[in-house]
Every structure is written in structure tokens, then in C-alpha cells.
């Protein structure tokens, strides 16, 4: 994902469509929804400013929300992720933080990338599921859904990363 | 002064975060109100025209099951038709159009294919129009589910109209755009549809509390109500949305309500939202007087 505008817009549209039209329409299980569009936020270049990060996240979340009839839900989860991303990324790349790079297996190696993706996706789906089923009585539902969403999403992102790297 | 400015610039992303969070929160809370803009929903022109394409494709995967249902329904309708022919003593043409239906009969569904008809139809004093539509977007997994259909204001669909399918009741139109509408289905936590037990005429409200999209609840059923497990539940016709007698589901279980003043019955819904493709929008002639009267007594 290079920094050019055309590429960014292309990925934005592709991910929103895949998330909104394909993934949300395949009702595989009540829990475990892959939140693939998060990959757009995760793979923005490391030198993206915090404010730009917030705006990108907000708009991709909002677009996914429109397809799912959940205005504000994915947008909220995404801006929380955008706020946490710089620290989580720095945490995994503190030793060789030189210049800008696109987070990925190629630039970070497998384990640091996984350690960056996992907390990011977990935070995102935790916020998402908490707001979605906002009730203490459903606390166990929130925990199960968060863990299930996280596992499915992280596995999907890692698989895509591996396939990409081979290309 | 310079320090304050530096501070503000350094942490300006927090201000943006709070601003975006506020916008998102407004969208989140505003959406729960029944009436509102169709803009941020899957029934907006752009989103619906995109999902319509994918819905057209996925339709083909469900054709086999759809065919089986239609055959089953055909057999049932043929049995009913023969019954009415005998009852009326008139010759009824097989190619009668179903665009305008008058009245609806009480059907007690004893088995998926065997139908016993309890009493002859009462012709109702008003007829209604059905407008066929296709589902372009639907969710069943969430707590507050919605579905978008491909008919909107240009086809005469407006908010408050009832939506049914070949299987049974679906929901109520809550927002419309020019060519699409958003429907609040039975499987939404704010949905409440007046219904009754077909055999004994006791009333209740159809509610859904998340979880299994095939299981709903009928609340506020009086404690003296007569019913049996397996009884059919139909719409009551008390509202201006649905006519009487549209199949809803069968009684599955019984529970006391929280205040122990009434029963809550578990209902197995006839409508399988997981494979809903074709629906009909019911356009009942408006009952202005009734609506006015209901407005007056609302407190």
C-alpha cells in the first residue's frame, strides 16, 4: 500500500465493498465477524499524522456503517484504533525506527507485525462489541464476540499478508 | 503564550478525536429513533444500488430451496382453493390475479403441508394492494437488525407500511428513499407487532430479544388465555399496518412475565430471515380517523 492517493482511494473502495457487501452478507455464525477493513488503518504508512489517521479511520468506519445500518458504530471503533495505533506501532519498532515504512511482514518481520496487529484488532473489536451490545447483562456475549472477532480478523490479515509477501 | 500554543498544537489530535467521537455518538443515538433520515443507511440510493448487484448474484444460490417452498405453498393454496370452490359453489378461474386480495382466511397450520381451515372467510370491507419487492441488504446476526428493499417512494412505499413474505410477517417500513426503503423487521429489539392466537383470539405483542432469528416472544398474553403448544399466531389487525390473519409463527413455550400479570409465549417464527429474498409491501388504505384518535389518546 504505497502512499499515492489513487492507491489509497482504490484500497478504501475495495475494502468497504468487500466488508459491506460480501462479508456482512455471509451470515456464517452469530459470533466471529471478520473486520477486514481494519487492514486499511493498520497498513497506512508509519509517518501518517495522527489527525490524518483519525480522519481516514473515521470515514472508512462510517462507510462500513452505512452498509450495515450501524451509523457511528464502526466509526467509533476505528477512531479509537487510530488513537492507539502510533503507540502500538512504535512499541514494536523501537529499535530500528528509521524513516517511514508501511507496516507489514516485509518491513517488520512476522512476530513484531503480529504483536502489532493483535492488540490493534483486539481494541477495535472490543470497542465495537461493547457499543453494539451495550448492557452489563450481556457482558459474556461481549467478551465472546470480541475474542471471536479478533481471532478471525487477525488470522485473515496474516493470511493476506503472507500471500502478498509471496507475490 | 507560545507554550500554550505549542501545547494546543501538540495535542490537537485529541480535539479532533473528541469531535469525531461526538459526531459518531450523535449518529449512534439518533439512529435508534424510529423516524429519521435514510442517508446513513443501507437504503440510501448509493449503498442500495451497490448491494442490489450482490443480492442479484446471491439470489441464484437460494433458488433450489425457494423452489421447494413455492411448490409446498402451491399445494397448500390449491387445497384451499378447492375448499373455497366447494364452499362458494361457483367456478373459480385458475388464473385469477392476486394483485388485490380481499379478506384473509383463518388458517390453522397443523403440519407443514396439511392445512385445516377453521371457518369460512369473512370478506373485509376494505381491500389492500401488495407491491412486490426484493431484499437488497439484510442482517440477522445483530441485536438491532434491518433490511433494505428495492422499492421506495417512487413505487408509493411510505413509512409505516407493513412488509410480509410468502412465509409470514416480516416487519414495518421505517425509512424511504426514492427507490429503496429500510424495513424494521420482527428481529429488531424495538419492533413490536400486535398479534393473536389464531384459534382462541387472545392478543399479545410480538417482540424479539436478540439471539436466534427464528425465535421471538409474544408478550402481554392474559393469564387466562387459552392456548396449546403448536398453536398458530397471526397478526391481529388492530393496527393500521397489517390486516388480520397474516401468519406469524407457532407457540413454542410459555413463561411468566416479570410482573407475573401476564404470560410471555415463545414463538417459532415462520419467516426465516436468513434466506429472505422476495417480500411484499402492504399498502392499506389510510384510516385517518383511527390515526387521529390514537394521536389524541397518546400520553
Say whether residue A65 is in contact with chain B using an 8 A CB cutoff.
Answer: yes
The answer, for A16 touching chain B at a CB cutoff of 8 Å, is: no
Mean pLDDT, chain A, integer: 85
Tell me which of B97 and B50 has the higher pLDDT: B50
**Alpha-carbon distance B116 to nearest alpha carbon in chain A (angstroms):** 35
Tell whether A4 lies on the interface with B, counting CB pairs under 8 A.
no
Chain A residues whose CB is inside 8 A of the B137 CB are 25, 67, 69
Predicted model pTM: 0.76
What's the gap in Å between the CA of A98 and the closest CA on chain B? 22
Interface contact B40-A67, CB threshold 8 A: no
Distance between B290 CA and the closest CA of chain A, angstroms: 32
Instruction: Verify whether the Cβ–Cβ distance B25 to A30 is below 8 Å.
Output: no
Question: Which of A33, A72, A83 is best to mutate for the B interface (most B CBs within 10 A)?
Answer: A72
Q: Who wins on pLDDT, A45 or B115?
A: A45
Computed over every residue of chain B, the mean pLDDT equals 78
Cell 450481556 belongs to residue: A138
Q: Which residues of B touch A (CB under 8 A)?
A: 12-13, 16-17, 20-21, 23-31, 40-42, 44, 47, 50-51, 54-55, 58, 137-144, 146, 148, 182, 210-211, 274
Could you tell me what percent of chain B has a pLDDT over 90? 17
Domain count, chain A: 1
Which residues of chain B have a CB within 8 Å of the CB of A132?
Answer: 142-143
Q: Cβ of A25 and B54 within 8 Å? A: yes
Q: What is the pLDDT of residues B134-152, one digit of tens each?
A: 898 888 877 788 999 998 8
Contact B24 A132 (CB under 8 A): no
- B114 pLDDT exceeds 50? no
pLDDT of B49-73, one tens digit each?
888 888 888 778 778 777 887 887 7
Residue A121 belongs to domain spanning: 5-88+96-166
Q: Give the 3-state DSSP-derived string for chain B, with helices as H, strands as E and coil as C.
A: CHHHHHHHHHCHHHHHHHHHHHHHHHHHHHHCCCCCCCCCCCCCHHHHHHHHHHHHHHHHHHHHHHHHHHHHHHHHHHHHHHHHHHHHCCCCCCCCCCCEECCCCCEEECCCCCEEECCCCCCCCCCEEEEEEEEEEECCCCCECCEEECCCHHHCCCCCCEEEECCCEEEEEEEECCCCEEEEECCECCCCEEEEECCCCCEEEEECCCCCCCEEEEEEEECCCCCCCCCEEEECCCCCCCCCCCEEEEEEEEEECCCCCEEEEEEEECCCHHHCCEEEEEECCCCHHHHHHHHHHCC
Residues of B in contact with A69 (CB under 8 A): 31, 41-42, 137, 139, 144, 146, 148, 182
How large is the ipTM? 0.87
d(CA B4, CA B24): 29
A142 touches chain B (CB under 8 A): no
C-alpha A123/C-alpha A104 separation (Å) is: 19
- The string of pLDDT tens digits covering residues B23-35 is 998 888 877 665 5
Which range is least confidently modeled, A33-47, A55-69, B256-270? B256-270
> pLDDT digit string (tens) for A109-124?
888 899 999 999 999 9
> A69 in contact with B at a CB cutoff of 8 Å?
yes
Local confidence band at A125 (pLDDT 50, 70, 90 cut-offs): very high
> What pLDDT does B103 receive?
36
Mutation to test the B interface, candidates A21, A59, A73, A149, most B Cβ within 10 Å: A21
pLDDT reported for residue B35: 57
Q: Is the CB of B51 less than 8 angstroms away from the CB of A21?
A: yes
Amino acid at each position: 500500500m504505497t502512499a499515492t492517493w489513487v492507491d489509497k482511494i482504490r484500497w478504501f473502495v475495495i475494502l468497504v465493498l468487500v466488508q459491506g457487501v460480501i462479508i456482512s452478507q455471509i451470515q456464517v455464525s452469530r459470533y466471529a465477524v471478520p473486520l477486514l477493513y481494519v487492514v486499511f488503518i493498520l497498513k497506512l504508512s508509519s509517518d501518517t499524522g495522527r489527525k490524518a489517521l483519525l480522519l481516514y479511520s473515521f470515514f472508512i468506519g462510517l462507510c462500513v456503517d452505512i452498509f450495515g445500518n450501524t451509523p457511528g458504530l464502526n466509526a467509533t471503533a476505528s477512531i479509537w484504533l487510530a488513537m492507539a495505533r502510533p503507540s502500538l506501532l512504535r512499541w514494536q519498532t523501537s529499535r530500528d525506527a528509521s524513516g517511514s515504512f508501511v507496516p507489514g511482514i516485509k518491513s517488520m518481520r512476522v512476530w513484531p507485525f503480529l504483536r502489532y496487529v493483535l492488540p490493534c484488532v483486539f481494541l477495535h473489536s472490543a470497542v465495537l462489541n461493547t457499543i453494539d451490545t451495550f448492557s452489563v447483562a450481556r457482558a459474556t456475549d461481549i467478551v465472546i464476540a470480541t475474542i471471536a472477532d479478533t481471532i478471525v480478523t487477525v488470522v485473515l490479515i496474516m493470511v493476506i499478508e503472507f500471500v502478498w509477501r509471496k507475490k | 503564550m507560545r507554550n500554550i500554543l505549542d501545547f494546543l498544537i501538540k495535542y490537537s489530535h485529541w480535539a479532533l478525536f473528541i469531535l469525531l467521537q461526538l459526531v459518531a455518538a450523535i449518529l449512534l443515538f439518533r439512529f435508534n429513533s424510529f423516524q429519521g433520515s435514510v442517508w446513513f443507511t443501507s437504503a440510501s440510493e448509493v449503498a442500495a444500488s451497490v448491494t442490489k448487484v450482490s443480492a442479484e448474484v446471491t439470489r441464484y444460490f437460494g433458488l433450489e430451496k425457494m423452489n421447494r417452498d413455492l411448490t409446498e405453498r402451491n399445494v397448500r393454496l390449491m387445497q384451499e382453493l378447492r375448499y373455497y370452490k366447494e364452499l362458494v359453489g361457483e367456478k373459480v378461474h385458475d388464473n385469477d390475479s392476486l394483485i388485490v386480495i380481499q379478506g384473509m382466511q383463518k388458517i390453522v397450520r397443523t403440519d407443514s403441508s396439511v392445512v385445516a381451515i377453521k371457518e369460512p372467510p369473512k370478506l373485509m370491507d376494505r381491500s389492500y394492494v401488495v407491491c412486490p419487492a426484493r431484499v437488497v441488504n439484510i442482517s440477522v446476526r445483530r441485536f438491532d437488525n434491518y433490511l433494505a428493499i428495492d422499492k421506495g417512494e417512487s413505487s408509493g412505499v411510505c413509512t409505516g407500511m407493513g412488509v410480509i413474505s410468502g412465509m409470514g410477517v416480516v416487519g414495518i417500513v421505517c425509512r424511504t428513499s426514492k427507490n429503496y426503503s429500510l424495513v424494521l423487521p420482527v428481529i429488531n429489539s424495538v419492533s413490536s407487532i400486535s398479534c393473536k392466537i389464531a384459534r382462541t383470539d387472545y392478543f399479545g405483542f410480538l417482540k424479539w430479544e436478540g439471539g436466534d432469528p427464528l425465535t421471538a416472544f409474544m408478550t402481554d398474553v392474559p393469564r387466562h388465555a387459552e392456548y396449546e403448544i403448536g398453536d398458530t399466531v397471526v397478526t391481529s389487525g388492530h393496527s393500521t399496518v397489517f390486516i388480520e390473519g397474516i401468519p406469524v409463527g407457532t407457540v413454542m413455550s410459555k413463561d411468566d412475565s416479570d410482573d407475573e400479570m401476564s404470560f410471555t409465549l415463545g414463538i417459532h417464527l415462520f419467516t426465516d430471515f436468513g434466506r429472505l429474498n422476495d417480500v411484499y409491501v402492504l399498502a392499506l388504505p389510510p384510516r385517518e380517523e383511527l390515526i387521529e384518535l390514537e394521536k389524541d389518546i397518546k400520553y
